[in-house]
Homo-oligomer: A and B are copies of this chain.
Amino acid sequence: MNETRYLQAQRQAHMFKAMSHPLRMYILVTLKDRPRCVCELAEEMGVDKSVASKHLSQLREAGLIKDTKTGTQVEYRLAAPCVLEVATCSDTAVLMNRKSLLGI
């Protein structure tokens, strides 16, 4: 077991874990548009604000989004828009693979 390689794998896996939930990806895609506060996202997704807040925490902890506090509101924005392009790109590449896999 290559230690350096494992540490790299662990770090990357952690980032992808943050991106591994439908609502969290939905949040990322939505934020690409423009920044939003927690309750806006919660309402848009139809979940409790505590649920939205927790998903946002995970994304922030992973370094994917940033927040700015203004009064009682917390505005969230993408930290690295390129990550999203990356998601779309690999998504497309993999989708093509799966299609050929399924014979579509």
Contacts and interface: CB of A to CB of B under 8 A. Distances in A.
A20 interface: yes
Nearest to A10: B22
Given A46-B1, A82-B93, A19 B12 contact: yes
A94 B25 CA distance: 16
29 contacts: A1-B46, A5-B26, A5-B29, A8-B29, A9-B26, A10-B25, A12-B19, A12-B25, A12-B91, A13-B22, A13-B24, A13-B25, A16-B16, A16-B19, A16-B87, A63-B101, A64-B94, A64-B97, A66-B97, A66-B101, A79-B94, A79-B97, A80-B90, A80-B94, A80-B97, A83-B90, A83-B93, A83-B94, A86-B89
